[in-house]
Each structure stands twice: as structure tokens, then as C-alpha cells.
Amino acid sequence: MRALYLLLGDPVAHSRSPAIHARAFELLGVDAVYAPCRVTDPAGAVEAARLLGVAGFNVTVPHKEAVAEAVDSIHPTAARIGAVNCVKRENDKLVGYNTDAPGLLRALEARGIDPGGARVVIVGAGGSARAVAWALAPHASQITIVNRTGSKARSLASLVRAAGCRAEAGSLQSLREATLIVHCTSVGLNSAEIPFDPSVVNGALVDLVYAPGGPTELLKRFSGLKVDGIDVLVHQAIASLEIWLGRPQLDELAGPLREAALA
């Protein structure tokens, strides 16, 4: 029987994940289909996925934290992050994982960016930002969280400090001193808006957002070393496939999956 995989989020119409996974299943000879589902009730969507017998699903904004509370069990790494973006059916139980963190680190490595000793600024404090912070905490010398809701920035900074890295909530002024900036909000997803002025950035820039027509306006205006959202999405997808299929080390798929995402 053909396996069913889903993408749960709101919005999802822009997502390149279906194209990425369709190509991956083709290359790997897996009989499966991957379908995007716009949902406004994440707990209800998890229950529906259970009843449909889905083999697994990805989770995108804004449901990563809510799904972490709705699955049957959660991998220790995802539990520490507090966000789930990958779920696998295991013995009729839905188990939550986080592949945003390894996806980011693999994308940085592929672009030749070493986070070791970096002064990091993370713009945003949602589920994706939590994964980014957790991924970079063992490597960075300092992480600053910038978010319009100060309480969320301070909460995420506390998580980073608990992981053993210096961290604080800050303002966009901290971008000037950063050696690595990661944009984790939805600004620029469906518009030409930019979350901050890229001319003040002196370090490398990662934009987790990707626009349907190509690079976001933020990346278009930035001339330095950068990683786009497609790079991170592809490596996150590979990490999800490794979990779902039990096939390690699928990084050789990165090139053709990026082509599929941009087609």
C-alpha cells in the first residue's frame, strides 16, 4: 500500500516540501505520496493523521510547539527544544522529532559557514527559532534573541543559557556586532517586506523564509555570505526522510532535491 505523508501548517500553499519529497521518494524508489494540509487546529489535525494511518508528517509554522504537546511521545532532543516539525508513526504511536536543528547545521556546513565561536543573533522566538538556538548553542560564543514580544525573547534566552551558552534578549542594534544572523520570523514569506535593514549586517546571514519566486527581498538586498530558506528546507527534509525510512546518510540527495524545490 502506498504510504501517506503530510505537511501540516498555515499557510502551506507556498511550500516546496511536496516537490522535494516527491523527488526524494522517486530517487529512493519509495512508493509514497506527500500532501500539504492547511490546518488551524493542530491537535485535531494530529488526531486526524492518526485515524488516517499516515506514516508520518512534517509540521511548519505556526504549529510546531502545539504539535509537540499533541503527539504520543517526543524524542529527547525535540523535548528540550519544545518544538516538533517531524512526526513518525512507530508501533501505532505518533512520535515527535525535530529536524530543524540538524537541517540548519547541515546547511551551514554545505555553504562553508562554521558556527564555532560565532556571535549569533536570532530574529524571532517561535518554534523554528527555538530549534536554531538549540542547534547553535554548543558552537556559538554568544546568542542574542531579538523578538517583538520581549517575554518570548527572554524565555528563549533562558533555554540557551541552560544549554551552556551565553545568551540574552536584545534589539536589532545587536545585528551590527553579530558574525551570524538567523532570521526565523515569517516576514517576507508572501511580500517584499524585510525584517531589518541588511546593510547593517557584517556577518553571514541565514533566512529561513523562502519566497515562491526566488530569494526573499532580504537576501536580494544582502551581498555577503548567506544561506537561503531552500537550503535549510532541503537539509531538514533529508533529516526527516532518514527518520521516516530508517536510511541514514542521505545527504547526497541535497543537489537534486534543491533542483526540485526551485523547479
pLDDT above 80: residue 247: yes
Which distant-in-sequence residues (6+ apart) come within 8 Å of 33 by Cβ? 2, 3, 4, 5, 22, 25
Give every strand in the sheet of 226-227, ordered side by side.
167-169, 142-146, 119-123, 180-183, 204-207, 226-227
d(CA 10, CA 262): 21
Q: Are 206 and 108 in contact (CB under 8 A)?
A: yes
- Please report which confidence band the pLDDT of residue 214 belongs to, taking 50, 70 and 90 as the band edges: confident
**What is the pTM assigned to this prediction?**
0.94
152 given a catalytic annotation: no
pLDDT at 190: 81
- Please report which confidence band the pLDDT of residue 215 belongs to, taking 50, 70 and 90 as the band edges: confident
Domains of the chain: 3-98+232-262 (3.40.50.10860), 114-224 (3.40.50.720)
Torsion angle in degrees (nearest 10) through CA of 78, 52, 234, 99? 10
Q: Which of 64, 88, 93, 226 is catalytic?
A: 64
pLDDT at 30: 98
d(CA 162, CA 176): 26
Query: Taking the CA of residue 241 as centre, how many other CA atoms within 13 Å lie in the half-sphere pointing to its CB?
Result: 32
Give pLDDT tens digits for 5-16.
999 999 999 899
